[in-house]
Structure 1
């Protein structure tokens, strides 16, 4: 199975409502769509969104990395020796994790197709159905309460609340209002996106604990580089702390595990450079008794399908944050993971199960 071509194109899909975090406001899901072809007529699909404030990758840099650096390294390689192919992918250049992730998921799509297995079965096959949370963007408390109520009416039993954009007292007001609106039976996760300082994070989390707001997880409360600060928060509160932006590489994950700087890890393909490295991080966490959540950026159902296959395959991935495709005004993907409210079902067809990506520049058929 010789790799014969890699092509890219841009995709932009408007969101139903602006997505606001402590780091950015997003109105469109902009990404690079990747197709990798082989000499046996198969096509693998991948996707990489531009998330400059997190990964440092723009549409232009992703496109350039794939076409000018990664593509020349991989064309002509035999995917049946995929250990060597993934080594070449990750050694091709430093960083550029989103570009690597898009090619990585297309390669795994092809490998699983060749084995005539759905990707989640090829990777481990733990489960084919998973349940996603839904994210409430950071806004005024009343608006966030309205949004939370709407998502609960749609059947979501876990909400991920964005905080960290302004004063911590305001964040406590937001969570108090949301909890008042949705009752006690809905799980709440907080994501500060690096927006808090250490002492303020401890004070606010303790205050929410004392108020009985019942927070399941607090994600990335402090700056990504501040592992000592995150450990200080983790040790000082009862609520589990999850690392997100602090983890791109297995080496970074190992440092967090060794320090016990967090209680859990949030793995995202756009940070790890794809499934190949994500498996290493998850395995290290599992052997250390640390569970993982699988998340995503603002991506279409293509990239989320790849992440969901990986998440469904692994026992140690116990929480899922795959709501991004539900935020988009329209769906360009034919095939892939299927949503029914919060429930997601992986396709029982070879590979990712993605058949086509519709777009302004034409349709991408998968002849396999």
Structure 2
């Protein structure tokens, strides 16, 4: 199976409601789609969202990395030389982990098709179904309470609540959500790097003292502040999940070695795809640290790749793959089934993606 052609396109998918965090506000998913065609007729699909506020990768950066570096190096290559392809994708351009992730997942898709196995079974086959949380955007307390009530009515029993845009309101936001949620709904919060270490400890401990029962806090401090992250982990009543602090396997090792967080969040767009994610998984398993599988605001192709990984490995004990259910429509044909909180992986060879409706080609 040789690569004969690689095409780029884009999709635009409106969100049900605006997505608001301490870093940005988004109203639609605007993603780059990668198609890798082969001489057997098999097609592998990849996807990358421009998330400049988080990864630093804009649409232009993703397209440029793919067109100028990754695609020329992949054309003509044999899928069966898989390890070489993985190393080539990671080494042919510096950084640009989102572009690398798009190529990585498309290659895994083809590798599974070559050997007629779904990717999750190639990687371990631990389970077939996941249960995801759903994100509640940061807004005024009353609006967040309404959004929480809507999510619970849709069947979700775990909410990831965005905080940090105005720290003085964060306790009130969580109190309003908890009042609507009752005692049995799990609440986890994401500060998106908004707090200083001592401020984070004060806010988190106040939240727990008020009976808000938080499962964990995601990235309470700046990504580079590993010392501050460790301080919060050691002094907070709330377990700490490292997100933006962990892009690469090297980042993960630093956090794990210093015991700077209780949990690690793996996102394919941060680490450059499944190939590097597996290295982080192995390190977390060695240190006995559980992981969450997360996503950016992405449509189903790239979230589907994360589903394949999470269904393969038991180290993923928290699931945050709500991108497709935040969208108002799904233009992706095939792949995993997203039925509100339940995600069921496809048993088709590769990743099971059959096409994209409304794809606008860039060439």
- TM band (smaller chain): over 0.9
Distance 2:274 2:190 in 1: 24
Deviations 1:150-184 (A, max 9, x none): 101111010000001112x3100000111111101
Distance 1:339 1:16 in 2: 15
TM-score, L = length of structure 2: 0.98
Number of the residue aligned with 1:185: 184
Deviations 1:206-225 (A, max 9, x none): 11111111000100000000
Aligned length: 361
Distance 2:148 2:277 in 1: 31
Number of the residue aligned with 1:134: 134
Q: Specify every segment of 5 or more residues in structure 2 that has no aligned partner in the other structure, as ranges.
A: none
Distance 1:92 1:360 in 2: 27
Number of the residue aligned with 1:260: 259
Is 1:21–2:24 an aligned residue pair? Answer: no
Number of the residue aligned with 2:248: 249
Map 1:173-322 → 2, pairs under 5 A? 173-322=172-321
How far did residue 341 of structure 1 move?
2.1
Distance 2:359 2:134 in 1: 29
Distance 2:17 2:210 in 1: 31
TM-score, L = length of structure 1: 0.97
Map 1:1-368 → 2, pairs under 5 A? 1-167=1-167, 169-361=168-360
Deviations 1:184-240 (A, max 9, x none): 100000000001111110001111111111000100000000000000000001321
Distance 2:164 2:82 in 1: 42
Q: Residues 333 and 354 of structure 1 are in contact (CA less than 8 Å); yes or no, is this contact kept in structure 2?
A: yes
Distance 1:48 1:361 in 2: 15
Number of the residue aligned with 1:365: none
Q: Specify every segment of 5 or more residues in structure 1 that has no aligned partner in the other structure, as ranges.
A: 363-368
Q: Residues 51 and 57 of structure 2 are in contact (CA less than 8 Å); yes or no, is this contact kept in structure 1?
A: yes
Distance 1:226 1:237 in 2: 16
The alignment partner of 1:106 has SS state of helix
Distance 2:149 2:14 in 1: 23
Runs of 4+ in structure 1 deviating by more than 4 angstroms, as ranges, are none
The alignment partner of 1:80 has SS state of coil
The alignment partner of 2:14 has SS state of strand
Distance 2:190 2:68 in 1: 36
Distance 1:264 1:156 in 2: 22
How far did residue 317 of structure 1 move?
0.7
- CA RMSD in angstroms, aligned pairs only: 0.9
The alignment partner of 2:99 has SS state of helix
How far did residue 360 of structure 1 move?
5.0
Distance 2:248 2:360 in 1: 34
